């Protein structure tokens, strides 16, 4: 089990079996390119000038991402880019980061409590292609096979070619009847499963920390998985509802 660091596998993706390794080549293959302004909450977290992880804007000064995206990193070396679906277009806003707030119970071995808040040095200018996303409530739950949306930036081939354009895809939520520690080792109550039982649609490496949304609300955060598109192996997302009170306490959202 290792964190994911770029998003979206689909029918077009053939991958080796086994656990995803963070040093592997990362890619977004399949899905669709997003239209400008389609995901106004989407954040590109950039480390030393390169896309590093995804995130979601939840207020004018706070971002939700995965803890493994910020653990061991220096806020001074990371920037947050908001308000663009094309990182090469010169549009959007770039903001310095004042603080990482990593969940105190985050476990880097198990990826439990894989959530971090990022406080920006200056508020973003809200409006148009920059909007915060509403958080799913603490008791949010959905029936199995409910469609959710994942989105992110990332490389598309073994040469690490970056399209710089935002992609998205739809995945199915998995029931707790299957998404539990008995069937999937490592799953906890802070995690939700999404993908396709056949493995044809699932999150893949990269864009960790990016959003999984249902009904326009942030329901999950891209966390970890077993390979890309492996049959019977969904991708794992940190469950926002389970950590809702911690977000409220630390972000006042």
Cβ neighbour number for residue 26 with a 10 Å cutoff? 21
All structural domains of the chain, each given as residue ranges with its CATH number in brackets, are 42-132+245-251 (2.40.10.10), 133-241 (2.40.10.10)
Who wins on pLDDT, 199 or 50? 50
Choosing from 52, 68, 95, 196, which is the catalytic residue?
Answer: 68
User: Is residue 176 within 8 Å of residue 242, measured between CB atoms?
Assistant: no
Is pLDDT above 90 for 244? yes
pLDDT at 29: 41
CA count, 13 A, side-chain hemisphere, 184: 28
Q: How far apart are CA 25 and CA 104, in angstroms?
A: 30
Is pLDDT above 70 for 25? no
- 208 flagged as catalytic: yes
Choosing from 61, 95, 103, 114, which is the catalytic residue?
Answer: 114
- 41 flagged as catalytic: no
* 37 token code pair: 């302004």
Of 114, 88, 77, 66, the C-alpha closest to 210 is 66
Angle CA(138)–CA(208)–CA(215) in degrees, nearest 5? 40
Of 94, 96, 95, 115, the C-alpha closest to 104 is 115
SS3 assignment, position 109 = coil
Is pLDDT above 60 for 24? no
Per residue in 159-212, pLDDT (tens digit) is 445 568 898 988 899 998 889 999 888 999 999 999 866 655 556 655 789 999
- 68 flagged as catalytic: yes
Mean of the pLDDT values across residues 85-114? Answer: 96
pLDDT at 90: 85
Q: How far apart are CA 221 and CA 213, in angstroms?
A: 9
pLDDT at 229: 55
Who wins on pLDDT, 180 or 156? 180
pLDDT at 206: 59
Q: How far apart are CA 108 and CA 153, in angstroms?
A: 24
Q: How far apart are CA 37 and CA 194, in angstroms?
A: 25
Angle CA(13)–CA(160)–CA(78) in degrees, nearest 5? 115
Is pLDDT above 60 for 239? yes
Is pLDDT above 60 for 16? no
Mean of the pLDDT values across residues 150-161? Answer: 64
Choosing from 44, 56, 208, 223, which is the catalytic residue?
Answer: 208
pLDDT at 157: 44
Q: Model-level pTM?
A: 0.87
Give the CA radius of gyration of the chain: 16
Is pLDDT above 90 for 227? no
Give CA torsion, residues 202, 189, 249, 148, to 10 deg. Answer: 30
């Amino acid at each position: 089990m290792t964190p994911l660091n770029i998003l979206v596998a689909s029918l077009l993706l053939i991958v080796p079996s086994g656990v995803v390794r963070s040093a592997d080549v990362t890619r977004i293959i399949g899905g669709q390119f997003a239209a400008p302004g389609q995901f106004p909450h989407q954040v590109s977290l950039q480390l030393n000038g390169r896309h590093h992880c995804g995130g979601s804007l939840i207020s004018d000064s706070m971002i939700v991402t995965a803890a493994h995206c910020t653990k061991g990193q220096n806020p001074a070396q990371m920037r947050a880019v908001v308000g663009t679906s094309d990182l090469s277009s010169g549009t959007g806003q770039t903001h310095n980061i004042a603080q990482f707030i990593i969940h105190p119970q985050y476990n880097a071995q198990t990826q439990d409590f894989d959530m971090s808040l990022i406080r920006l040095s200056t508020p973003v200018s809200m409006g148009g292609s920059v909007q915060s996303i509403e958080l799913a409530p603490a008791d949010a739950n959905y029936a199995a096979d409910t469609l959710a949306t994942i989105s992110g930036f990332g490389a598309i081939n073994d040469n690490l070619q970056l399209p710089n354009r935002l992609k998205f895809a739809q995945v199915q939520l998995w029931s707790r009847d299957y998404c539990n520690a008995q069937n999937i080792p490592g799953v906890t109550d802070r995690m939700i499963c999404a993908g396709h039982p056949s493995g044809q649609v699932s999150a893949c490496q990269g864009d960790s920390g990016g959003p999984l949304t249902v009904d326009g609300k942030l329901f999950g955060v891209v966390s970890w998985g077993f390979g890309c598109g492996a049959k019977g192996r969904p991708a794992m997302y940190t469950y926002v509802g389970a950590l809702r009170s911690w977000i409220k306490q630390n972000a006042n959202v």
